[in-house]
Amino acid sequence: MLPHKIENCPIIDTVVEIRFISNLFPNAVFGMIYNLFQKDYNPHVEKLPILQIPDQLRDIDPNFKFKPHYKLHNDRFSVQIGPDVIAISSSVPYVGWADYSTHICIFLEKLFSLNIITQVIRLGVRYVNFFEADIFSSIKLSLSIDDNEHKCDNTLIRTEILKNDFTNTVHIANNVNHIVNGRPIVGSIIDIDTSRNYPDAKFIIDYKTEVESAHDSEKELFFSLLKDDFLDSLKPIFK
């Protein structure tokens, strides 16, 4: 049985992202979405750095595809919006999946009611966890060179793991800098981006199940990486 949550929560970033095809002109997408959601977020709209790049360059460079242009936020959540992408994040400390998923599904229900999205082509659920220690001694993963165990100093591992019809892109690294309470801390990260592509309207029809399934896949993989004694140190809470 997986923990319901862990008391010493290591989550420093979360995002649920959908990439979509719209029946609107690209410049009209944000206005339609903003008019629907403006009462749910603070009135200030943050323009993201990509808008400093001329339209002509953004249109021809594939690296700028699926990048959000604007950001809205309230005390608990933020949403970044682009012509073909929406990314919903939880504040830190993490609010917990129950509240987070409820917010996501309410947002998507209202969004799809606009009838401006003809297809969602990709779902991504990403969690970034930070630990104030060298994580490689605490996870069920080892490296060997010429049959000798490798000491993982300054190590970055990236791999893709297929699980429950989702692709989990996993980054594990030590000697990573992170700012905690205004001061830099050196530690490790486990970064899992769980994604699935959709060739049809399946996501719009069954978005609640798809979001929940992606989260379950990420959660199962994350906890499967941790050694039992290390998980115990995080103070897991079971229902």
- The strand pairing partners of 93, in sequence order, are none
Residue labelled with tokens 């990573």: 176
Residue 105: its pLDDT value, please?
Answer: 97
Average pLDDT on 203-232 reads 97
The pLDDT tens digits for 178-200 are 987 788 999 999 999 999 999 99
**Tell me: the pLDDT tens digits for 116-164?**
999 999 999 999 999 998 999 899 988 777 777 767 778 899 999 998 8
Residue with tokens 């690209």: 26
**How large is the greatest C-alpha to C-alpha distance in the chain, in angstroms?**
61
Say if residues 222 and 129 touch (Cβ distance below 8 Å): yes
Query: From the centroid of its chain, how far is CA 203?
Result: 17
- What percent of the chain stands above pLDDT 90? 79
Q: Which pLDDT score, from 0 to 100, does residue 150 have?
A: 66
The 10s digit of each residue's pLDDT in 71-85 is: 999 999 999 999 999
Could you identify the residue written with the tokens 């990420």?
Answer: 218
How is the chain split into domains, by residue range? 7-237
For residue 158 the two structure tokens come to 């990236």
Give the model confidence (pLDDT) of 22-32 as tens digits: 999 999 999 99
